[in-house]
Amino acid sequence: MPDHEITDAAIAQEQQALDIALARRDEAIGELTARLDGLVEEDSVAATARRSTRTRLIELERADSGLVFGRLDALDGEVWRIGRVGVPGQDELDDPLVLDWRAAAARPFYTATAVEPQGQARRRHIRTEGRRVIGVDDEVLDGSGDGGLVGEGALLAALDERRTGRMGTAVATLQREQDDIVRAPSRGALVVQGGPGTGKTVVALHRVAYLLFAHPELARAGVLVLGPSQRFLDYIGSVLPALGETAVVSATCETILPGVRPERTESRRLAEIKGRAGWQDALEQHVASLVPSAQDLPIRWEDEEYVVPRATVERLLRTACSGRDHHSARRAFLAQLIDVATDLVAGGTAELLASAEEGLEDILGSVDASLARDDDRGVTTGEAGAAVDGELTPAEIEALRSRIRADAPFASRLWQWWPDRDPAAELATLLADEETLARVVPGLGAGERALVAAEPAGWAPSDIPLLDAMSDLIGDDGQVGSQAEFTADRASGRRDWVYGHVVVDEAQELSPMEWQMVARRAPGYSITAVGDIDQTEAAHTHTSWEGIVGDVLGERWRQSRLTICYRTPREVMALTGEVLAAAGSDNEPPRAVRSSGIDPWTRQVDEGGLPAATAAAADELARRWTGGTVGVVAPAVRVPGLRAAVRPDVPVVAPTGAKGLEWDAVLVVDPDDIIAEPRGHNGLYVALTRCTQELGQLRVSTTSAQ
């Protein structure tokens, strides 16, 4: 049979299987919809069932396109079709029509090779458009071959597709080193080092989908994805929903604190100063100093004065402050103080009655004797209590405790001695006071303290981690959480939410204080951090992962590497070795696996003609890559002017804004000025590696610039 007839037969076979799976999916959607309509939220069990049903319904609804993308044929004849989500068989005992890509049985689709077939005879990649199968790509896993890329034909076809400005899923083309990271254990922090185009972000997002599937308990707490910019979050925004995940909150370090946003920019020097690890200990010591000192504490109750001795107050403070934030410690102190006050008042009542009774004992004794003589029945009441014998019964003591607890003046007097603290006001006061900074943050030099104290009002980006730390140390007094139906909606409104897992993209950019924000939201260190140390542009001075995460994670992290570049063509990656060496890196650039056949080009442009030349080159690239995307990367100082010159559908960004993004064609404008910026060679490395097909550069002629 001719090859085209074999291909047509395979496509027809997969189309039939896809039609059956889609029909069963539609049936399942109907069943879930009916079940959802029948669920009445009368208790927590019903509410949980409703959330679970709705999540599964959304998962199936979003899988309309690309429901099936692969097939595994085992040596024993077993056949599995692999898809974006699982589709059950017609009956409970039937095998699933589509196996969820996250299931253990689906793993050989990503890891089997001709050298290690893992019990598989064949792997088939299935390409679809909507509900139509348009192509298949078979690999025979018979033990021969060089064990190279998994599904190379499908992978390279996917890489050659036009970019749309939004990241797509890659579940059909994950490679072995990527899949190993996706399915790595969730416990502990995993740092993934990978150069440009190695699929760091793809791996991180698919890891989220896998972990939520394999560990449902993580879904109950939700997953936080921290990205470098809102543009980046928009770019990846459709990936996790397409994989069926909804228990995800996306944020940047600047937007993670509910209700707080930076109001101004700041210098790199200040950002570096305020990002240092020493601030955490400094803020802890400062908040500890806000606890009132132990002293004799007077208490007034029903016109009587009582005194809690200093030694008792000191003991209560020590117990209350152990492991608690400022406001929680005060509440714990109040609870203990109520017990002490109850004992004091109860003891005082007994003493008062005993004193009054001393002068009446003889009279009462005579009366009692007389009553005893007159009462020939010899009856006694057996009653006890303060009114009878001066001693309070347990019931009377508990009633007294309740009255003291409910007494507003009692609490008010304590609040005056130990007042509320507003984290924002407390931090602003601290940062503006050089004398206090010298005492609290001894690691700062006099010049650095002066810089911090001289800042204008309003929050800068580096203040957000400090405010987050201060808010955590002081605490939210009586905060009420959202009652929204979905985990993500509840979590996004809470500063103190603890997530099941946290993913950090472009992790090399985070300062130590930003890493403290991450650790607070994942105290069990269930963290996946992906990045490239050679693309660092942040103000901090660290040049190794140990330097970046060591202050916060200590030894509770491990590292994996991605070594293959799937995005950037060989022709472009050939330029990067020299740039990395100039940046002081000891790393080799990742190995590119594909060629675009287009050599990078460079043009010289006069300074005065740069805007027009940029616009013309961008138009040229846009025409050449119709249906795809074009991006312009330039020094930060040139971005506003060039943005006004080029067509509105072509983004113009600085290297920092380009991190994590990709376009079919990229125009790098004035690379020499990019190099002149802080960490300039790192920035140029970012700029050069954003394209999937073509790279152009416009250099400003030095003669015209002089």
Q: Is 611 annotated as a binding residue?
A: no
Q: Is 195 annotated as a binding residue?
A: yes
Please state, in angstroms and rounded to a whole number, the distance separating the CA atoms of residues 180 and 592: 20
Please state, in angstroms and rounded to a whole number, the distance separating the CA atoms of residues 390 and 693: 93
Q: How far is CA 238 from the centre of its chain?
A: 17
Phi, psi of 653 (to 5 degrees): -135, 160
Please state, in angstroms and rounded to a whole number, the distance separating the CA atoms of residues 126 and 651: 34
3-state DSSP call for residue 694?
strand
CA dihedral 56, 59, 60, 61 (to 10 degrees): 120
Q: Is 445 annotated as a binding residue?
A: no
Q: Is 194 annotated as a binding residue?
A: yes
Q: Which residues contact 445 (CB under 8 A, 6 or more apart)?
A: none
Please state, in angstroms and rounded to a whole number, the distance separating the CA atoms of residues 32 and 27: 9
* Three-state SS annotation for 84-110: CCCECCCCCCCCCCEEECCCHHHCHHH
Alpha helix segments (H runs only) across 254-374 = 268-274, 278-289, 310-321, 326-358, 361-374
Please state, in angstroms and rounded to a whole number, the distance separating the CA atoms of residues 507 and 524: 18
DSSP single-letter state for residue 64? S
Q: Is 33 annotated as a binding residue?
A: no
β-pair type (691-700, 304-308)? unpaired
Q: Is 500 annotated as a binding residue?
A: no
* Three-state SS annotation for 219-262: HHHCEEEECCCHHHHHHHCCHHHHCCCCCEEEECCCCCCCCCCC
Number of Cα atoms under 13 Å in the Cβ half of residue 616: 8
The identity of residue 414, as a single letter, is L
Please state, in angstroms and rounded to a whole number, the distance separating the CA atoms of residues 554 and 172: 36
Residue 196's closest CA among 577, 696, 686?
Answer: 686
Beta bridge partners of 251: 226
Number of Cα atoms under 13 Å in the Cβ half of residue 584: 9
β-pair type (68-74, 79-83)? antiparallel
Please state, in angstroms and rounded to a whole number, the distance separating the CA atoms of residues 520 and 496: 8
3-state DSSP call for residue 638?
helix
Please state, in angstroms and rounded to a whole number, the distance separating the CA atoms of residues 273 and 663: 35
Annotated binding site: 194-201
Annotated binding site for ATP: 194-201
